[in-house]
Structure 1
Amino acid sequence: MIAAGLVLLALGLADLARQAVHRHRWVALAAVLIVVLALGVVVDAVPAAAMALAVTTGWVWLMPVGAPARAGVWPAVAVFGLATASVAWIAPRSEPGLIGPVWRMPVPGGELTPDHAVLVIGAAVFLLESANVVVRAALGTHALPARTGGARAPRSAEPRHPPPVSDGFVIPPRPPLPGAPARDEPPEPEGGSADDAVPLPERPSLKGGRLIGPLERILVFALTLAGAYALLAAALAAKGIVRFPEISRDDAGDRAEYFLVGSLVSWVLALASAFLVWWGFGLAR
């Protein structure tokens, strides 16, 4: 069980480091290595930590960031196969190392051991960013089609001051006051031309897809472990309802396929992680 938790935790931390750090990525990965080895020493599982780091090295090479995956989704299949074998063949430990004498964490069903805690945390961390890597690998051959409606005009042909939009409706420009001269461009600031004015910063856009995916997987993971299957079905149905207008406008069906492949891979990863945790908890009873 501890080996499965350390493997998932190492993969999740490595992918979070690769996503957050761009210039000194290998330094961040070295920090992940130190953290995992230190945790292995604390819980008396140094061989399992070394195996987790070896698996992480292969994962980083096979699943690069910003490039196509070298082996598709098969590294994820191999990782969950290894984690399942670790849970099935390695019995729960009664002596969890240095942290054992001071570890006390009661839960409603009994007491949460350090091995259980590492497995739950590792599965949750894996679902944050590593699952995004797997979903992108699964969609590597399913390119999202471009939106129809013509090619985008060159930047020079775009209006410098587009009309504001509110709730999807374009607000028409305010007519000039009586007697005021008509202007196509805003008035020049005092002491210089309009080109010398400092441009206003663009409003940052919310990257909803990067947030929705991890939140959805954590929700599926938690609801599955809690046995709230009715709420789980409602949450999955709600996502389909929210995406239905966009999918229904797709005549070719490419967007529907893109949505289904990504969603199914994401749900399978969350359910597989919940199954590992559920099986690990069952073996300890």
Structure 2
Amino acid sequence: MSWLGILLVGFAVTDLTHSVRRTRYLPECVGALTVLVVGALAGLTSGRDVVALLVVAVVVLLWGLTVTWGFGHPGPKPARVPLAVFVVALTTAIACSGLAPDASGLLERWLDSVQLPALEDMEADRFLLLLGAFAVQLATGNVLVRLVLKSTGTINPRADGQMPPTQLKGGRLLGPLERVFILALALGGQVTAASVVVAAKGLLRFPELSSRDEQQTVHEMTEYFLLGSFASWLVALGAFVLLV
């Protein structure tokens, strides 16, 4: 599973870099470089591993470029291209996971030396997959949700002027926090607690979705909220499935 973990790390670093510094071509280049560096630290230096890492780096470059292109062009169809890249890359990495060797190198030696109970006796492969799964919940999760909304033509009534803009600005932070929280609870065996978080989100948004003053656009806001929420939860649940 080492190749899969590194692929997820590459996606995550690309999108995190883009969220911090939106310089053209920089995010995907940083993500691709991270793939090569992490691969070297994980001891993936054989001929087959080098080829695999180069392929992963190219995929990460393609992901960054298609995401920028998808958001930069109007209409739903452009957003489907990066979604297809993500799904095909993830599916291929899972299918080829049996060919990937066990990670070792400096990463394994560091894990053996670190004095954290959570990392005690953890294999390097497992660490890479955990790192990638949790990292994807951050900026990449937001990107995937936005791509799903754009590819389906689901608009935010607040963004197109149909509803007054909200004063709350924490949505892009709350989404990652929610996904990380759900994934951590699920991995800890607290699936019921994770479902409570999901239910609580709906209850907290109920007053806004049922406002009589905005009945003309409530159905659009409801669709936007439901589709975005389910897409966000699927990112966390998909990572959970990979880790169990």
What TM-score do you get using the length of structure 2 for normalisation? 0.80
Distance 1:143 1:102 in 2: 46
The one-character-per-residue Cα deviations of 1:159-201 (angstroms, maximum 9, x if unpaired) are: xxxxxxxxxxxxxxxxxxxxxxxxxxxxxxxxxxxxxxxxxxx
Matching residue within 221, 231, 255 for 2:221? 255
Question: Secondary structure, in 3 states, of the residue corresponding to 1:71?
Answer: helix
Q: Which amino acid aligns with 1:79?
A: A
1:99 CA displacement: 3.7
Count of residues in Structure 1 that have an aligned counterpart in Structure 2: 222
1:98 CA displacement: 4.0
Distance 2:122 2:18 in 1: 31
Which residue is 2:64 aligned to? 60
Cα 1:7–1:227 shift into 2, 3 Å: same
Distance 2:200 2:9 in 1: 30
Cα 1:73–1:100 shift into 2, 3 Å: closer
1:230 CA displacement: 1.4
Distance 2:12 2:26 in 1: 16
The one-character-per-residue Cα deviations of 1:208-242 (angstroms, maximum 9, x if unpaired) are: 11111111111111111111011111111110010
Which residue is 2:55 aligned to? 51
Aligned residues: CA RMSD? 2.7
Which residue is 1:73 aligned to? 83
Q: Determine if contact 2:7/2:56 at 8 Å carries over to the other structure.
A: yes
1:33 CA displacement: 2.9
The one-character-per-residue Cα deviations of 1:31-87 (angstroms, maximum 9, x if unpaired) are: 333332121112122344322211112211221174252526333322332343244
Q: Which has the larger radius of gyration?
A: 1
Distance 1:57 1:32 in 2: 7
Which structure shows the higher helix fraction? 2
Cα 1:34–1:276 shift into 2, 3 Å: same
The one-character-per-residue Cα deviations of 1:81-137 (angstroms, maximum 9, x if unpaired) are: 2343244x23662x6134434531575696211111111111111110111111111
What TM-score do you get using the length of structure 1 for normalisation? 0.69
Task: Report matched runs for 1:88-237 at 5 Å.
Answer: 89-90=98-99, 93=102, 96-104=104-112, 107=117, 111-140=121-150, 141-146=153-158, 207-237=169-199
Report whether the alignment pairs 1:32 with 2:41.
no
Q: Determine if contact 1:11/1:56 at 8 Å carries over to the other structure.
A: yes
Q: Which amino acid aligns with 1:55?
A: V
Q: Which amino acid aligns with 2:21?
A: V
Question: Secondary structure, in 3 states, of the residue corresponding to 2:156?
Answer: coil
Q: Which amino acid aligns with 2:215?
A: D
Cα 1:271–1:86 shift into 2, 3 Å: farther
Q: Which amino acid aligns with 1:31?
A: V
Work out the percentage of aligned pairs sharing the same amino acid: 31
Long gaps (5+) in structure 2? 45-49, 74-78
Question: Secondary structure, in 3 states, of the residue corresponding to 2:68?
Answer: coil
Report whether the alignment pairs 1:82 with 2:73.
no
Cα 1:127–1:109 shift into 2, 3 Å: closer
Question: Secondary structure, in 3 states, of the residue corresponding to 2:72?
Answer: coil
Which residue is 2:47 aligned to? none
The one-character-per-residue Cα deviations of 1:217-269 (angstroms, maximum 9, x if unpaired) are: 11111111111011111111110010001111253511111000000011111
